[in-house]
Structure 1
Amino acid sequence: MDYEMRNIKDFLQLYNRITDLCFNSCVDNLFGRDLTHQEISCADNCVSKFTNVNQRLLQVYMGVQTDINQRRMADMEAQQAKLLAEAQHRQKRPLKSRRAPRRPSCDRTLHFTFQ
């Protein structure tokens, strides 16, 4: 739900920005209720340009995002292969004995004499 709300919010912000820019660029006279033919033409061109630019940006973004995703997948696969190779290498090595270390043996025998 948050994702959908974020999309709606982004769309409304873009819509408001385009409306603001096109209105301020195209409408010169606020004394009449109706738009002049020149204002209508200007507003149509303004909205068309924003729409075309937005579509073009989305196409470029999608292409770049696809490349980024492919690189990430390749990196993840390489990392997994490396981890798998390390795990296999560890399994092939003989295990070291975990016995307690031997104490050095004494060749000398101690003799005690009691008086």
Structure 2
Amino acid sequence: MDPQIRNFRDFLQLYNKITELCFSHCVDNFFSRETSREEAACLDKCVQKFTRVNQRIMNVYVEVQTGINERRVAEMEAQAQSQTLASTEQQQAIPTANQSDSFADSNTMPQIEVKTPQEADNAVR
């Protein structure tokens, strides 16, 4: 859903909720089309109170959400760093294995002389 449409829908739901709550709390006389002074004052106070509470809640939410986002960023950076470190270690381990293979092929290994059975008998005599 489009974020603008969702925000507008949320606003309308909140507006309808405030209207319903304040109306049911403040309006109790249906003998006149006009609201009385007491009803109008009650409606004003109700809407102001609801608005102030909503603003406070949103401020706390923004603070808490900011902290949560900072922790998530730190966790993601730590995870990326550990993956980079693991990748670097893995790349360094590969040349070491190749180097050990090259040592096996070099002349530093002792040479074993293989003789046929006849040569071995001649060497003993």
TM-score bucket (shorter structure)? 0.7 to 0.9
Find the counterpart in structure 2 of residue 43 from structure 1. 43
Distance in 2 of aligned mates of 1:24 and 1:90: 69
Distance in 2 of aligned mates of 1:79 and 1:45: 51
Q: Residue 95 of structure 1: SS of its match in structure 2?
A: helix
User: What is the number of residues matched between the two proteins?
Assistant: 99
Question: Residues 41-90 of structure 1: CA distance to partner in whole angstroms, max 9, x if unpaired?
Answer: 10000000110011011100100110000000000000001001101111
Aligned: 1:95 with 2:97: yes
Find the counterpart in structure 1 of residue 17 from structure 2. 17
Q: TM-score with structure 1 length normalisation?
A: 0.81
Distance in 2 of aligned mates of 1:92 and 1:20: 68
Larger Rg: 2
Deviation, 1:91, is: 1.3
Distance in 1 of aligned mates of 2:36 and 2:92: 83
| Shift >6 Å, 4+ stretches | none
Q: TM-score with structure 2 length normalisation?
A: 0.75
Calculate the aligned-residue CA RMSD, in Å.
Answer: 1.6
What are the equivalent positions in structure 2 for 1:49-88 lying under 5 Å apart?
49-88=49-88
Find the counterpart in structure 2 of residue 31 from structure 1. 31
Deviation, 1:33, is: 1.1
In structure 1, stretches of 5+ residues that fail to align are: 98-106, 110-115
In structure 2, stretches of 5+ residues that fail to align are: 102-113, 117-125
Larger proportion of helix: 2
